[in-house]
């Protein structure tokens, strides 16, 4: 059962472009939405996270936009660089009282061309 | 701070053989996760431990997969017997969060790439 749907599967942009990755969720009990970045041969690493009481969060060149009513959230990579080429996963977590289980989306492979 | 350690990095076995993976989480982290990541897909949670107790194993194929976390620290995941469809990267992650408290920042190891032939 895929509870977090992610799109697109892959994305190619030129250096300086803004890749946008979208995720949608079904379970309204989710209350924590992290994004993970994964390079080949490495485990995922936390990039940025947001809670549903906030509509936008920025950390450096990475921005999360959150639309609670639509049950959607997205990642924007501003001024993208070749070093940002990686696979990005959105995820969602149930409330702490439910055990902090993390559910991942299918991933988006981003390629930033020089 | 040392990260999550996993071994081996790679393993090739024949179908119907058994295999075991080992994970050493970040010191002091109460929560430990095992994820299966099939090529081109997102990680899928297999089992979640809180200290040495299981809090979620709903997606663990219990007829062939087993896991334990001794003394609430290291963990092993075993597959017996392996099938071709078990070919994947097995990721271990740990989190400092106690069950029911705080958010969920999970730190991942590099994973073990299993190939079943």
* Closest residue in chain A to residue B99, using alpha carbons only: A99
> What does the mean pLDDT of chain B come to?
92
The per-residue pLDDT for range A38-72, each reduced to its tens digit, is: 999 899 999 999 988 899 999 999 999 999 999 99
Neighbouring-strand partners of residue A86: A110
Q: Tell me, what's the pLDDT at A1?
A: 47
**A6 CB within 8 Å of a chain B CB:** yes
Q: Tell me, what's the pLDDT at B103?
A: 66
B101 interaction partners in chain A (CB closer than 8 Å)? 96
Q: Tell me, what's the pLDDT at A112?
A: 97
Phi, psi of A50 (to 5 degrees): -145, 155
B103 interaction partners in chain A (CB closer than 8 Å)? 32, 49, 51, 93, 96, 100
Q: Tell me, what's the pLDDT at A99?
A: 66
- Asked whether residue A6 carries a pLDDT value surpassing 50, the answer given is yes
- Asked whether residue A19 carries a pLDDT value surpassing 60, the answer given is yes
- Asked whether residue B46 carries a pLDDT value surpassing 70, the answer given is yes
Q: Tell me, what's the pLDDT at A4?
A: 94
The Cβ of residue B96 has, within 10 Å, a number of other Cβ atoms equal to 17
Segment B43-65 shows an average pLDDT of: 92
Instruction: Give A35-39 contacts, CB < 8 A, sequence gap 24+.
Output: A35/A62, A35/A64, A35/A75, A35/A88, A35/A89, A35/A90, A35/A91, A36/A88, A36/A89, A36/A91, A36/A104, A36/B108, A37/A86, A37/A87, A37/A88, A38/A86, A38/A87, A38/A88, A38/A89, A38/A107, A39/A86, A39/A87
Rounded Cα–Cα distance for residues A56 and A20 (Å):
14
DSSP annotation string for B5-50: EEE-SEEEE-TT--EEEEEEPPTT--EEEEEEE-TTS--EEEEEEE
Window from A6-15, A27-36, A98-107, B28-37 with minimum mean pLDDT? A98-107
Q: Who among B41, B56, B104 is closest to A93 (CB)? A: B104
A34 interaction partners in chain B (CB closer than 8 Å)? 104-105
**A83 CB within 8 Å of a chain B CB:** no
Percent of residues, chain A, with pLDDT higher than 70: 95
* Closest residue in chain B to residue A6, using alpha carbons only: B42
Q: Who among A43, A49, A99 is closest to B110 (CB)? A: A43
């Amino acid at each position: 059962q895929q509870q977090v749907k992610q799109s697109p599967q892959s994305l190619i942009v030129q250096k300086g472009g803004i890749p946008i990755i979208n995720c949608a969720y079904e379970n309204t009990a989710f209350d924590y939405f992290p994004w993970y970045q994964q390079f080949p041969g490495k485990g995922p690493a936390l990039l940025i996270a947001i809670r549903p009481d906030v509509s936008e969060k920025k950390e450096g060149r990475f921005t999360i936009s959150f639309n609670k009513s639509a049950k959607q959230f997205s990642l924007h990579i501003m001024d993208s660089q070749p070093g940002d080429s990686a696979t990005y996963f959105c995820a969602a977590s149930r409330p702490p009282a439910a055990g902090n289980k993390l559910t991942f989306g299918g991933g988006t492979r981003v390629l930033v061309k020089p | 701070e040392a990260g999550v350690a996993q071994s081996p990095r790679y393993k090739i076995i024949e179908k119907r053989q058994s295999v075991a993976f080992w994970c050493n989480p970040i010191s002091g982290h109460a929560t430990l996760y095992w994820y299966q990541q099939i090529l081109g897909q997102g990680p899928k949670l297999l089992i979640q431990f809180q200290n040495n107790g299981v809090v979620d194993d709903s997606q663990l194929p219990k007829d062939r997969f087993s896991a334990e976390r001794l003394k609430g620290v290291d963990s092993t995941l075993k597959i017996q017997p392996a099938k071709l469809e078990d070919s994947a990267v097995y990721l271990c992650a740990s989190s400092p969060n106690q069950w029911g408290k705080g958010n969920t920042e999970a730190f991942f190891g590099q994973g073990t790439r299993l190939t079943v032939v």
